[in-house]
């Protein structure tokens, strides 16, 4: 693995302005802090898993990386180039190298287009000089790589299962041979057996094409299977970041420990006797997050000083945690 990161994110913030009243247009708006200061490096050929409960900012973070939502502050550098300074045309060129696979495989495909046209659309957009036969050949080759037979090239998305539709989405994302693919919960809508097939397909294609992946999921067992490193998010903040094996073997942050305790274990005896660490209270609102550590209102080891200053990741690059009480 290269020692130079392909993607550098520093203190990224994505805030949405929420109107407090529809009757009074001059009323002040509030900031919903969907992502509030995330920093990381991603290396060529690496898979970074991103986990956390619903509403923690995972998908917003992914969309900010590719410019689908506007960032309030921070820095995103792709191979040394600052992305947040790009205009529309600049982002268009970058998207040849950064592609995205979405959560709902059927909803992300145009129902009026054949799968051949869906997969070919990026080629026609970025390489208009290719003739029809060249485009068709590239589409059929990519279909074979993702496990689709070329003879279904003229069928429509509704004729395929969820797993097959996700393969179509993967083919569309990879047809330009990008360097980074952001996978936004690509298996959450699929059956367990199909999830394994799609994850193994992504791993195989990553090795074959030299891809870097950012893999977002709720299922920590899936993330463990595919990720080299894992970042844990809570209420728009990163609370732990480390090598996959180290983080799963010895989670440091209380929130990570709670997530890990909920992962099913295939051994029935161990599963029956394990202790699940339940979190008390409700998830705070991202419009009005707690002062200091955002997890302190649900943390079993919180003390008064946790409300004074927001912790940052501390520790070795191999395993860092945003909690001074356990770092």
At residue 271 the predicted structure's pLDDT band, cuts being 50, 70 and 90, is low
For the chain, domain boundaries: 7-97+178-272
Query: What's the pLDDT tens digit per position in 46-99?
Result: 999 999 988 899 999 999 999 999 999 999 999 999 999 998 888 888 989 999
Q: Is 322 within 8 Å of 314 (Cβ atoms)?
A: yes
Q: What is the pLDDT of residue 224?
A: 87
pTM value is 0.90
Give me the mean pLDDT over the 279-305 stretch: 89
| First-to-final CA distance of the chain | 27
Q: What is the pLDDT of residue 134?
A: 95
| Confidence check: pLDDT of 294 > 60 | yes
Query: What's the pLDDT tens digit per position in 142-185?
Result: 999 999 999 999 999 999 998 999 999 999 999 999 999 999 99
Q: What is the pLDDT of residue 78?
A: 95
Cα gap 187→87, rounded to integer Å: 32
Query: What's the pLDDT tens digit per position in 92-151?
Result: 889 899 999 988 888 889 999 999 999 999 999 999 999 999 999 999 999 999 999 999
Q: What is the pLDDT of residue 22?
A: 65
Q: Is 107 within 8 Å of 185 (Cβ atoms)?
A: no
Query: What's the pLDDT tens digit per position in 231-258?
Result: 999 999 999 999 988 888 889 999 999 9
Q: What is the pLDDT of residue 174?
A: 95
Q: What is the pLDDT of residue 124?
A: 93
Cα gap 230→228, rounded to integer Å: 7
Q: What is the pLDDT of residue 169?
A: 94
Cα gap 298→284, rounded to integer Å: 9
Q: What is the per-residue burial (b if ≥16 Cβ within 10 Å, else e) of 101-112? A: bbbbbbebbeee
Cα gap 258→240, rounded to integer Å: 13
Report the DSSP beta bridge partners of residue 213: 47, 181
- CATH superfamily for domain 7-97+178-272: P-loop containing nucleotide triphosphate hydrolases (3.40.50.300)
């Amino acid at each position: 693995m290269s020692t130079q990161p392909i993607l550098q994110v520093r203190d990224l913030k994505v805030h949405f302005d929420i109107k407090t009243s529809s009757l009074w247009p001059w009323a002040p708006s509030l900031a919903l802090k969907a992502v509030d200061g995330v920093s990381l490096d991603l290396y060529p050929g690496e898979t970074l898993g991103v986990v956390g409960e619903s509403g923690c900012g995972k998908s917003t973070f992914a969309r900010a990386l590719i410019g689908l939502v506007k960032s309030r502050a921070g820095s995103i550098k792709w191979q040394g180039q600052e992305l947040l300074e790009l205009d529309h045309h600049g982002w268009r060129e970058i998207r040849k190298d950064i592609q995205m696979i979405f959560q709902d495989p059927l909803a992300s495909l145009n129902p009026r287009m054949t799968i051949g046209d869906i997969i070919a659309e990026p080629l026609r957009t970025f390489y208009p000089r290719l003739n029809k036969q060249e485009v068709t050949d590239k589409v059929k080759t990519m279909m074979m790589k993702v496990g689709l037979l070329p003879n279904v090239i003229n069928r429509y998305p509704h004729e395929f299962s969820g797993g097959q539709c996700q393969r179509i989405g993967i083919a569309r994302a990879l047809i330009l041979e990008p360097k980074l693919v952001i996978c936004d919960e690509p298996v959450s809508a699929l059956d367990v057996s199909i999830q394994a097939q799609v994850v193994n397909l992504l791993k195989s294609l990553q090795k074959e094409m030299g891809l870097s992946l950012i893999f977002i999921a709720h299922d920590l067992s899936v993330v463990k299977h595919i990720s080299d490193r894992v970042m844990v998010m809570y209420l728009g903040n990163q609370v732990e970041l480390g090598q996959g094996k180290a983080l799963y073997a010895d989670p440091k942050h209380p929130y990570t420990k709670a997530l890990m305790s909920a992962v099913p274990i295939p051994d029935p005896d161990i599963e029956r006797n394990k202790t699940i660490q339940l979190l008390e209270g409700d998830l705070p609102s991202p419009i009005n997050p707690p002062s200091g550590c955002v997890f302190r209102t649900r943390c079993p080891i919180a003390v008064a000083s946790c409300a004074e200053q927001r912790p940052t990741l501390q520790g070795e690059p191999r395993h860092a945690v945003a909690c001074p009480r356990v770092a």
